[in-house]
Structure 1
Amino acid sequence: MSATTPSTWLVTGATSGFGRLVAERALALGAHVIAVGRRRDRLAELADSAPKGLVTTLELDVTAPDAQEVLAEVVRLAGGLDVLVNNAGYGLFGSVEQIGADEARALFDTNVLANLAVLRAALPALRASRGRILQTSSLIGQFAWPASGLYAASKGAVELISEALAHELAPTGVKVTLIEPGTFATEFFGSVRVVEPNDVYLPTVGKFLEDVSALPPEAVGDPEAVADAIMAVAALEEPPLRLAVGADAIESIRASLRSRLAELDRWESFPRVPVGEGV
């Protein structure tokens, strides 16, 4: 698919951050954008600023029970789909022990189960067009820091779902790419829910949260770079499965992979329990 070819894009989380920037870029290419979000005023702003007829706005909470059916119908009415940017999600940080069941469930409902609902709604049309799927993950979809356990687990789920999906879709021509941004200046951080650590977790979770809040402005990237990366990879004939964006993402993921390989090598010859023995 050429970047200059008129196409139809479905972008979730299109009212702010990476989703809004990608929607604007796709519109600038002459694409029809199905912009999905929960904020009516932001969707109206996007529609008002776009060429007439190129935006279909959809005010929708992607965790709603009927979200899959609503999205599938909008795609049908649009006449097909070429690119899905599955971007909706939110952050929840705190110790694994202190995050309650209701908050954990809400996080996975949004970041994992809603992501799946969007995929199911879009996949028939994407198969027909041999289209592109861009899944927004995170550098901590590859590893976890103190305080990030539940959020990293939700993004790790998206990573493995997407990896399996890429294998499953390979014969159809549909390409899947995970976008793994580092730390970028979007509204994400303003909407993050933080569970403050108790005394037990002050040395780990508390220290990590303090360090993050003390990051200098130059440590936070320009979100335009992520939007540009999404647009570029969507146009590739053979895109990567994973694309880390930002120096911190690349360095941190590389360090994590090296650490895991070193641990695998170190424990490779550790005694194994023979088959049929043990618990």
Structure 2
Amino acid sequence: MNVLLTGAGSGIGAAIASLYADNGHRVYALDIKPAAPAKNITPFAADIRDEGALSAVAQALREQSVQLDCIINVAGIFLMDSFLEIGEDKLRAVFDVNLLGAVRVNKIFFPLLRKNGKIFITTSEVAPLDPLPFNGIYGVSKTALDAYAQALRHEAGLLGAKVVTVRPGAIRTPLAQGSVPAMRKMSETSAYFGGQAEKFQRIMEKFTGRMLAPERVAQKIYKVSFKKCPKCVYRIHNNVLLKLLSALPKRWQVAIIYRLLGGKKAEKARRAQR
């Protein structure tokens, strides 16, 4: 099997690359900071924001007459911030990677995909849920990616290819572990939400619970890639409490978050600033 993989340098991507390679499959591993070449792994330094770099990789594979069995989209970035304070450049960067990066990859490499090939799109457990404060920028980008996957599922299906959405929960990766310093930075720099950001981080750590090893996600994708008729969506280690919160009426959600994060205190602080 020939696999094109993004985000292969660390976390879930690195675990996927190792699993396929260890089982004798060829992995074409894309990352901004690619790992060193290894048996059955051909690394490429490529930024998924750069259409030219991706096209160059596709051309290199085309010249080697490579046909892909799977395109696995893992690359993404994580950001904790507020929609009321984030700069537009940072906001664009999140969507440029988390949404448009996958769009570019699938468009450019689709001509190399076998007729019955599969495209995996890794979103998040938060993708189908109502977004939360401070995590909303990341969440909205993943919701958009989830919707894109469904649209692509229709289009690729007309051409014989399968599109599989993977929604992992809390996974022990550099991306997830970066949330703590990100929230700490926000609590120190936010003009509005210093105390609330800190509270949100503590609450989310309790909600999240045990993080799953990235190898578990890799094993699921590996197994599904050999299925003739895979499901459209696979959920891995999703948090029941987050799902329950999202199922509540939106007014209730707002009231719960307001109470948990000390909304009255935030309102008083804002009035004092005027």
Q: Please classify the TM superposition score into its range, dividing by the shorter chain length.
A: 0.7 to 0.9
Contact 1:71/1:121, CA 8 A, preserved across alignment = no
**One-letter amino acid of the counterpart of residue 18, structure 1:** I
Q: Deviations over 1:154-209 (max 9, x none)?
A: 11111011101101122322111111111111111344545614363346443212
What aligned pairs does 1:1-279 form with structure 2 within 5 A after superposition?
7-40=1-34, 43-44=35-36, 47-48=37-38, 50=39, 54-78=40-64, 79-126=66-113, 128-143=114-129, 144-192=131-179, 193-194=182-183, 196-197=186-187, 198=190, 200-202=192-194, 204-213=196-205, 219-248=210-239, 252-253=242-243, 256=246, 258-259=247-248
Aligned residues: 245
TM-score (norm. length: structure 2): 0.80
2:50 alignment partner AA: A
Pair 37,27 (structure 1): closer, same or farther in 2 beyond 3 Å:
same
Cα distance in 1 for partners of 2:87, 2:53 equals 26
Which ranges of 4 or more aligned residues in structure 1 deviate by more than 6 Å?
Answer: none
Q: CA deviation at 1:113?
A: 1.4
Cα deviation for residue 235 of structure 1 reads 1.5
Deviation at 1:82, TM superposition (A): 0.7
Report the alpha carbon displacement of residue 214 of structure 1 after superposing the two structures with TM: 6.0
1:139–1:119: structure 2 CA closer, same or farther, 3 Å change rule? same
Identity fraction in percent: 27
- Runs of 5+ in structure 1 lacking a partner? 1-6, 264-279
Q: Cα–Cα, structure 1 residues 140 and 123, in superposed 2: closer, same or farther, change >3 Å?
A: same
Give 1:140 shift: 1.3
Separation (CA, whole Å) in 2 of partners of 1:38 and 1:141? 25
Q: CA RMSD in A?
A: 2.5
Q: How far off its partner does 1:94 sit?
A: 1.5
Q: Deviations over 1:188-236 (max 9, x none)?
A: 13445456143633464432123235678x6212222111111112121
Q: 1:199 to 1:102 in 2, by over 3 A?
A: closer
Give the distance between the partners of 1:207 and 1:85, measured in 2 at CA. 35
The one-letter code matched in structure 2 to 1:139 is E
Contact 1:68-1:120 at 8 Å conserved across structures: no
Distance, in Å, in 1 between the alignment partners of 2:245 and 2:232 is 19
CA separation of 1:55/1:199 partners in 2, compared to 1, >3 Å: closer, same or farther? Answer: closer
Confirm or deny: 8 A CA contact 1:146 1:204 kept in the other structure.
no
Distance 2:242 2:223 in 1: 23
Change (3 A) 1:39 1:189: same
Q: Which amino acid aligns with 1:132?
A: K
> 2: CA distance between counterparts of 1:141 and 1:199?
28
- The answer (yes or no) to whether the contact 2:32–2:47 under 8 Å persists in 1 is yes
What's the offset of the Cα at 1:141?
A: 1.3
